[in-house]
Amino acid sequence: MEREPRTSLPVPARQTAPVAVSVPALDRVLALQRSAGNAAVTRLLARSPLADQVKAAPDKGAVFALLRKQGGPVTDADTISAVQALYAQGTDDRWLADQLVTYGPEPLWPATALADRSRRSTAGKWAPEPGNISAVIAPPDKDPDDANAKPVVAYFFPGQSERRALIIGGVHGSEPQGVEVVESLRGELEKACAAGKPPYFTVILIPALNARTRGKSRYVPRDPKESAKQTLDQGIEPNRSFPAPGEDYADARARVAAGKPELVYTPPPGQKMPAATGHETSKMLPETRALIALIERFSPERIASVHAHGISAGDAKVGDDPGIFVDPATDDAAAGEQLGKRMLAEGKAHAGQLPTGRKDPFRGNVGDSVTYDPNAPHARGYSLGSWAPAPTKTRKGISTVTVEVPQYGGDAAATQQVENLDRDILLNIFLGPNPKQNP
Ligand SMILES: [Zn+2]
């Protein structure tokens, strides 16, 4: 976002007698200062192009769009008074404008404000709104690594209920199918919301989390100047850059303040430390920081992360083939398991529409199991699926679904069809719409 430049005139010191100046604008300032005092002068000098745009906006939709476009809280006093002059206190319009001034666009709002928004929009029956409200999610702390990352862009869609879900793609840049599924879902949600048929869940989408690796690599370069081969051999595995289960962002930061590594890995009881792969990190990526900040603010009850997976030769491998897998919230495991099973059932019910000769897109769900193989080897470091489901002192556990879209090589038609299938599972089951079907 770019703020528009503001013309700044020198502010004269308080004066007892007028001074001769040749600048007409400054004459007006001084005349006003004599008649109205310094506060009015300060306001006049602070007049911003944004305030003028707000006053000239043709309707409230244009005003809200202008405020959202700032990409963050609005601090310019002139714009704030222009907005407040437009809408009477106590109205929904004034409330929405005040939230946009305070927090910026909806992806930056705390969960309490979004819950209030949901109650107001359904109670007051707001006109259908297409959603698709974007914002860049910044990491909470400045870090030298930030310069190497691309912005994390999130999109908000209002739901029929206060319940909140987060869907991300592009954790791994080598899995473009995941990004395509979430982008396609973004288009479908915009159409549905504009038509007055929003999903049951209020949702934020992040189509391409680690955008700097998109179309390039699974791993994140340690140094932007390293070769593709070096990244392949020793790049950071982005899905092993989360704090330990039970830890908040602040807990990991507290370790840094105490002179310790930000991330630590402790094998589960009875297990040895896994062999190093070269892809470990002791520090969160900037994109991971931004994602965690969003999760802690937005407080979703469920997360879906859309990846892509090759198809194994020979027998299907439990949890290591295309399919739908869930890490249930550890404080509500039954609901998480049920969500995964319903998504799988929906997928299987429609998989017959895929081209013949394509292997089962859910072949990793051996025996309709939606859990990972508990004996599978683990890399060092915690994934989103191990961090999010564990409750912390500030939030509940979050059931985390991993969708592994099958990789059909160069078969564009089959790829399109299976991506649409996974998109529709997310739209129809993960996001609702029927609350009775959303335990
Ligand atoms: Zn992946």
| Cα–ligand 1 centroid distance for 239 (angstroms) | 8
Residue 286 Cα to ligand 1 midpoint, Å, equals 18
From 5, 43, 4, 11, select the one nearest 26 (Cα to Cα).
11
pLDDT in tens, 336-345: 999 999 999 9
CA 211–ligand 1 middle distance (angstroms):
13
| 99 CA from centroid of ligand 1 (Å) | 36
- Look up tokens 């405020």; give the residue: 67
- The whole-number pLDDT of residue 314 equals 86
- Return the pLDDT at 61: 95
**How much distance in Å is there from the Cα of 72 to the middle of ligand 1?**
31
pLDDT per residue of the chain (439 residues) written in tens, 0 to 9: 444 444 444 444 444 443 444 444 445 555 555 555 565 555 555 568 999 999 999 999 999 999 999 999 999 999 999 999 999 999 999 999 999 999 999 999 999 999 999 999 988 789 999 999 999 999 999 999 999 999 999 999 999 999 999 999 999 999 999 999 999 999 999 999 999 999 999 999 999 999 999 999 999 999 999 999 999 999 999 999 999 999 999 999 999 999 999 999 999 888 899 999 999 999 999 999 999 999 999 999 999 999 999 998 888 888 889 999 999 999 999 999 999 999 999 999 999 888 877 878 999 999 999 988 777 778 899 999 999 999 999 999 999 999 999 999 889 999 999 999 999 999 999 998 665 555 5
Measured distance CA(135)–CA(151) in Å, rounded: 10
SS3 348: helix
**133: CA distance to ligand 1 center in Å?**
26
386, 245 contact by CB (below 8 A): yes
Contacts of the segment 95-99: beta carbons below 8 A, 24+ positions apart = 95/120, 96/64, 96/120, 97/63, 97/64, 97/67
Fill in the amino acid letter for 150. Answer: K
210, HSE (Cβ side, Cα atoms, 13 Å): 28
323-334: per-residue pLDDT in tens? 999 999 999 999
Q: Which two tokens stand for residue 25?
A: 């604008």
Pairwise CA distance, residues 306 & 220, whole Å: 18
**13 CA distance to ligand 1 middle (Å):** 62
The Cα–Cα gap between 238 and 180 comes to: 19
Placement of tokens 């998504």 in the chain? 343
296 alpha carbon – ligand 1 mean position (Å): 23
Who contacts 221 (Cβ-Cβ below 8 Å, separation ≥6)? 148, 212, 213, 230, 231, 235, 236
CA distance 433 to 312: 34
User: What value does the CA radius of gyration of the chain take, rounded to a whole number of Å?
Assistant: 25
CA of 51 to the centre of ligand 1 (A): 45
Q: How far is the CA of 289 from the centre of ligand 1 (A)?
A: 18
Instruction: Tell me the CA–centroid distance for residue 168 and ligand 1, in Å.
Output: 11
Please report which helix (H) or strand (E) contains residue 309, including its range.
strand 302-309
How many Å lie between the centroid of ligand 1 and the Cα of residue 177?
10
Q: Which residues pair with 116 in a beta bridge?
A: none
Please report how many Cα atoms fall inside a 13 Å half-sphere around the Cα of residue 139, on the Cβ side. 20
Q: How far apart are CA 421 and CA 378, in angstroms?
A: 29
**H or E segment at 190?**
helix 176-194
- Please give the distance of CA 24 from its chain centroid, rounded to a whole number: 49
**In whole angstroms, what is the distance from residue 180 CA to residue 170 CA?**
9
Kindly give the distance from the C-alpha atom of residue 173 to the centroid of ligand 1, in angstroms, as a whole number.
Answer: 8
What is the reported pLDDT for 286? 98
How many Å lie between the centroid of ligand 1 and the Cα of residue 319? 13
Quick one: pLDDT at residue 377? Answer: 76
CA torsion sign, 136 to 140 to 145 to 147? positive
**Distance between CA atoms of 249 and 290, rounded to whole angstroms?**
10
Provide the pLDDT for residue 318.
84
Question: How much distance in Å is there from the Cα of 86 to the middle of ligand 1?
Answer: 48
Burial of 371 (C-beta count, 10 Å sphere; 0-12/13-18/19+): middle
Q: Please give the sequence-ordered ranges of beta strands (E in DSSP) within 104-221, or none if there are none.
A: 133-137, 152-157, 164-169, 202-206
Q: Please tell me the distance between residue 244's alpha carbon and the centre of ligand 1 in angstroms.
A: 20
Q: Which two tokens stand for residue 373?
A: 């193989």
Give the CB-side neighbour count of residue 191, counting CA atoms within 13 A.
Answer: 7
223: Cβ contacts below 8 Å, ≥ 6 apart: none
Question: What is the 431 CA–ligand 1 centroid distance (Å)?
Answer: 22
Cα 209 to middle of ligand 1, angstroms? 12
Give the residues across from 205 on adjacent strands: 155, 167
Give the distance (Å) from ligand 1 centre to CA of residue 232.
14
Q: Six-digit token pair at 313?
A: 């030769």
Structural tokens at position 191: 């159409």
One-letter amino acid at 203 equals V
Give residue 175 CA to ligand 1 midpoint distance, Å: 6
Distance CA 107, CA 25 (A): 41
Q: How far is the CA of 236 from the centre of ligand 1 (A)?
A: 13
CA of residue 85 to ligand 1 center, whole Å: 50
